[in-house]
C-alpha cells in the first residue's frame, strides 16, 4: 500500500483509468498547506506533519468545487492508522472523475468501490474498518490488473505502466530491506514484498492483496 504514496503513481493510475474523451483533469499536490491550495481544480492533497500535527501526514481528495473527502472524517479509516489514506483518496478521486467506468478483472468501478465503503460507528468497529480494508485491497487488485492488461495489449513509447510500477515496487522493497538492516528490534521490521527484487511481479502483489482481503478484520484491529 506504500506504492500509493507518490504523485507519479497516482497520476499514472488516473491516466490509465480515466476516459481521454472527457475534460476532467487532476492535480496532485504533495506540498499542500491548506485545503484551498489549487482551488478550482480537482486535486489530491498531501498534508505534512507541520499542517496536520501528526508525525506522518495525510492524503485527502478535494473536488474543484471545494468538497473535501477525508477518510478519517468519513469514518472509513481507523484513527491513527497509516498507509491507507492515499488509497481512500484515490477511490474518492476516481469515483468523482471516472465514475462508472469499469476496470480490472473481475470488473469493478470506483463508484461501486465507494458504495461498498462503510462508516464505522466507533473506534472498535473492526467489522466496518475491516470491510474498508477489503475494499482497498479490491481497488488495488483491480487497478493493477487493468494496468497490466493495458501494458500487454497496447503499444507504448518507452516503458509500460506495468514496468513503471514494478520499478516502484522494487524501490520500495529495497527501502524496506534497508530499514530492517538498520533497525535492531525485529518487532519494528517490515515484511518484504519479496526476498529478491527480481522476483517481484504484479501477480505476486495481487496474491498478497488477496491475503490482506482474507485477513482484513484482523488487520483493522492491529493497525494504528
Residue carrying the nine cell digits 476496470: 103
Q: How confident is the model at residue 51 (pLDDT cuts 50, 70, 90)?
A: very low
Phi, then psi, of 116 in degrees rounded to 5: -85, -10
- In three-state secondary structure terms, 63 is coil
* C-alpha count within 13 angstroms, C-beta hemisphere, residue 111: 7
Query: What is the residue-averaged pLDDT of the chain?
Result: 88
Spatial contact of 135 and 112, defined as CB atoms under 8 Å apart:
no
What SS3 state is found at 101? coil
pLDDT in tens, 78-88: 987 877 899 99
Is residue 31 scored above 80 in pLDDT? yes
Which cell goes with 36? 484551498
**Where does the chain have alpha helices with state H?**
7-17, 49-52, 85-97, 110-116, 126-153, 161-182, 202-214, 216-222
Percent of the chain with pLDDT over 90: 53
Joined together, the cell numbers standing for residue 206 give: 495481487
- Cell (9 digits) for 212: 490482506
145-162 pLDDT, tens per residue?
999 999 998 888 888 999
pLDDT above 70 (res 23): no
User: Can you tell me whether residue 119 is helix, strand or coil?
Assistant: coil
Mean pLDDT of 194-214: 94
With a cut of 80, say whether residue 22 has pLDDT above it. no
Question: What does pTM read for this prediction?
Answer: 0.90
How confident is the model over 113-131, as pLDDT tens digits? 999 999 999 989 999 999 9
- Nearest residue to 89 via CA among 113, 108, 106, 120: 113
| pLDDT at residue number 92 | 96
Amino acid at each position: 500500500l506504500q506504492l500509493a504514496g507518490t504523485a507519479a503513481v497516482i497520476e499514472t493510475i488516473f491516466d490509465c483509468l480515466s476516459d481521454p474523451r472527457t475534460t476532467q483533469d487532476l492535480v496532485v499536490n504533495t506540498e499542500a498547506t491548506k485545503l484551498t491550495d489549487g482551488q478550482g481544480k480537482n486535486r489530491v492533497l498531501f498534508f505534512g506533519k507541520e499542517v496536520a500535527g501528526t508525525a506522518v501526514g495525510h492524503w485527502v481528495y478535494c473536488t474543484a468545487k471545494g468538497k473535501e473527502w477525508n477518510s478519517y472524517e468519513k469514518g472509513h479509516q481507523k484513527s491513527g492508522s497509516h498507509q491507507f489514506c492515499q488509497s481512500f483518496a484515490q477511490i474518492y478521486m476516481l469515483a468523482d472523475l471516472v465514475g462508472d467506468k469499469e476496470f480490472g478483472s473481475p470488473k469493478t468501478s470506483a463508484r461501486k468501490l465507494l458504495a461498498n465503503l462503510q462508516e464505522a460507528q466507533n473506534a472498535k468497529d473492526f467489522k466496518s474498518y475491516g470491510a474498508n480494508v477489503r475494499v482497498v485491497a479490491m481497488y488495488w487488485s483491480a487497478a493493477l490488473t487493468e494496468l497490466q492488461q493495458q501494458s500487454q495489449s497496447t503499444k507504448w513509447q518507452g516503458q509500460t505502466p506495468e514496468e513503471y510500477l514494478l520499478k516502484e515496487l522494487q524501490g520500495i522493497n529495497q527501502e524496506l530491506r534497508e530499514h530492517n538492516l538498520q533497525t535492531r528490534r525485529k518487532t519494528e521490521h517490515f515484511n518484504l514484498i519479496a526476498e529478491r527484487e527480481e522476483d517481484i511481479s504484479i501477480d505476486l502483489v495481487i496474491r498478497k492483496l488477496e491475503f490482506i482481503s482474507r485477513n482484513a478484520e484482523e488487520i483493522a484491529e492491529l493497525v494504528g
